[in-house]
Structure 1
Amino acid sequence: MAEPQQDWNTLPDEDFRRIFRDWVDANCPAELRFMRKQRPLFDEVAEWYHALANKGWLAPTWPQAYGGMGLNPAKHMIYVEEWARLGCPRIPDHGIGLTGPLLLQYGTDEQRAYYLPRILSGEHVWCQGYSEPNSGSDLASLKTSAVRDGDEFVVNGQKIWTTLAHCANWILLLVRTRKVEGKRQEGISVLLVDLRTPGVRIRPIPNLREEADFCEVFFDDVPVPAGNLVGEVDQGWTLAKSVLGHERIFLGAPTRPEYALARLETLAEATGKFEDKAFLSRYARHRLDVYDLGSAFERFAKVLRAGGDLEADVSVLKIFNTELYQRITEEMLEIAGEAARFEDDLDAGDTKVDAMNLFLDSRAPAIFGGSNEIQRNILAKAVLRLPG
């Protein structure tokens, strides 16, 4: 049972920051701080998940009536900033950040009453079924079909790059319910699918670090109750976009480059690289870029804090962030040379630096959440008004 809540939005920002930081710092297990694994499995962070749920702090933006904190954008930004600053592990958050908000906005009373408490309890662990082979960033070209058959939809198709599907038991699934000749965004619907249903098959995809963050999910004549449709049939494109509305600003948060720069500094100190003028010049450029990224992030965050909506130019954050992260981790490998083996961290004085782990981790963010090539297209069309 979650603790009684207060109206956090009435507190001054710094008071809320202090209260949140102090509790998290005291209650997040030390062994989970600054984990090597960016997307741990549910079982690996279940203790932290349940601690947040019991405190009533698991779902920051959900209304308090549904078990959330009811944070406005300004307080939510503080929540995210302190979470990252304290090195808290990422929890399997598709239920909290995607399914929950979708049901709060578009679901029925029955759907909210059934699914939301089970997300908070951890009984339902969700993943997101959007991308398909040959249909990743071009999401509207999806082909997974759902055909109505009485009181059910029958689903056939395949999803790919489905994060943590192998430790989830439900999937928020984007399907095509009607073939269209014109605009591809038409004829798409959203279904809530139990992954334990016969006909569902999940195959993990190991990443560069030999971890199974991603999966393929196959659907062969999978029956889904018609009551699991969210919103109106064939109107799912609007729903699909709504749950991704603020994703790019959080993908642009400077926490990854900041952490990587700190690790670079530790490694450079231990190896005497700060005596090398060429390295010092490159390091200064990285540090200035991190400062610039922080300033850019703050500019967009102010829009959210004021209750505004982000425009297409927020795409620049993701590009800047992910490519800076890559440049910093590449610098770490320059210093480490052949010592940067996959299996071993590097000795750096009285600590160790996970140079290769960070380098490999930096490859994926430029792809997920809409690849950087897609983000550049968005900027070209929506901001620079260049012809398509």
Structure 2
Amino acid sequence: MADDFNLLSNDAFRDRWRMWLQANYPEEWRIPIIYRLAGDDERRWHRMTYEAGWRAPAWPKEYGGLGLSLEKQLIMHQEMEGHNCARVLDSGAVLLAPVLMKYGTQEQRDRYLPPILRGEELWCQGYSEPNSGSDLASLRTSAVLEGDEFVINGQKIWTTLAAYADRIFVLVRTNNDVKKQAGISFVLADMGTPGLTVRPIMNLADEDELCEIFFDDVRIPAENLVGELNQGWTVAKALLGDERIANGAPSLSRQAFDVLEQLVDGIGLTEDIGQTDRMAQLYCDIHDLAALHAQVADAAIRGEIDNAGLGLMKVLATDLFQRVSDELLNTAGEDAGLRTPVGIGGVELDLRKIYMIARPSTIYAGANEVQRNIAANMLMGTTAK
């Protein structure tokens, strides 16, 4: 492989990545939307890409990544989508790593980045709490500094893939006597720490990938604090920016639309004017979202973070995913509620499950209703953040 993929033309780079996927990607994982890599499968994928030199395309080379341009990162995503690759969350590499690179100590970077890169440690995100989801700053999980340890008590909920994670990055309240955003800290914890309990939650798609986590006098080293004490809100906002770039991508909408096209063709509705009009609108919206996503991601890489734009892009992407999944059910008619692959129109996917996966998308990473309010306040020049 080339030492610097950025020296390859986009076409040459695309061919190189596509050939590797075709030769190495497991067939049993080629279930778009429906399947998400977790646990041993996710570790296997990270090891495969690491050993082949494809791991961490967005990381700077100094940390072992590829240091790819935005164009080539998008090409990798496009080819994975075209190859019907399964979803993968990769919270360690995508969410935590950029935070450690910016706010972490050298010791923290040396300790945590290499195992993430090699696929040896999986991470989950401890943000949302009961009664503290979209209003994240109202969180109540506390961390009290006792000597050289934090003692954590509280609860997190809707923690994705926590049952498979080795470690967790957590927002905790470390000061109750200041403005709520000012008294939050960002800390790291081992999932095997005494007092930390994970309880899976079965979701609407019959999956247990969401969990609630209980902290009962959980003791972690004070050196696990990332950034300054009581300044975790600044760290959290940076991480949420990265998360919303990912959640604002058109991938799920596009994959669901591909299923819709197969279904419409298979049951002979390609000449139905109402059907074609609705599909044409969805098709245009997907392409508009793809163009917006490329612009926002490019600006973010240049350090020009527009929080209002990030929030609105996430709103558009998740609303669109739901609209495509709605159209899938409308088109499937009486077969839409089957709990098994529908077996109509040449489609062998569980359409009900696609619909169920789309439902919570407008809630995670900040509910769309809240995101609209935040964006409106920002764009109108208020002080709300």
TM-score, scaled relative to structure 1: 0.91
What amino acid is aligned across from residue 170 of structure 2 in structure 1? L
| Residue 137 of structure 2 is aligned to residue 151 of structure 1 | no
Deviations 1:16-66 (A, max 9, x none): 233223222322112112345343322234332210121232212222232
Partner of 1:362: helix, strand, or coil? helix
Counterpart position of 1:14: 11
Counterpart position of 2:40: 43
8 A contact 2:338–2:350 mirrored in 1: no
8 A contact 1:77–1:301 mirrored in 2: no
Distance in 1 (alpha carbons) for counterparts of 2:307 and 2:182: 23
Which structure 2 residues correspond to residues 1-388 of structure 1 after superposition, within 5 A?
Answer: 6-181=3-178, 183-304=179-300, 308-310=304-306, 312-385=308-381
Deviations 1:163-215 (A, max 9, x none): 1001112100111111124x211121111101101101111111101101210
What amino acid is aligned across from residue 121 of structure 1 in structure 2? R
Return closer, same or farther for 1:307/1:101 CA change in 2, 3 Å cut-off: closer
How many residues in Structure 1 have an aligned counterpart in Structure 2?
A: 384
Distance in 1 (alpha carbons) for counterparts of 2:373 and 2:243: 17
Distance in 2 (alpha carbons) for counterparts of 1:138 and 1:204: 23
Partner of 2:180: helix, strand, or coil? coil
Return closer, same or farther for 1:277/1:386 CA change in 2, 3 Å cut-off: farther
Identity score, percent: 45
8 A contact 1:34–1:89 mirrored in 2: yes
Distance in 2 (alpha carbons) for counterparts of 1:35 and 1:50: 21
Please list every run of 5 or more consecutive structure 1 residues that lacks an aligned counterpart in the other structure.
none
Deviations 1:134-157 (A, max 9, x none): 111111111111111111110000
Distance in 2 (alpha carbons) for counterparts of 1:233 and 1:387: 24
Q: CA deviation at 1:68?
A: 1.4
8 A contact 2:150–2:219 mirrored in 1: yes
8 A contact 2:142–2:173 mirrored in 1: yes
**RMSD over equivalenced CA pairs, Å:** 2.3
Distance in 1 (alpha carbons) for counterparts of 2:346 and 2:309: 43
Partner of 1:219: helix, strand, or coil? strand
Q: CA deviation at 1:307?
A: 6.3
What amino acid is aligned across from residue 90 of structure 1 in structure 2? R
Please list every run of 5 or more consecutive structure 2 residues that lacks an aligned counterpart in the other structure.
none
Distance in 2 (alpha carbons) for counterparts of 1:161 and 1:20: 34
What amino acid is aligned across from residue 367 of structure 2 in structure 1? S
Return closer, same or farther for 1:284/1:37 CA change in 2, 3 Å cut-off: closer
TM-score, scaled relative to structure 2: 0.92
Deviations 1:256-310 (A, max 9, x none): 1111112112111222223433323322222232233233334334535766444
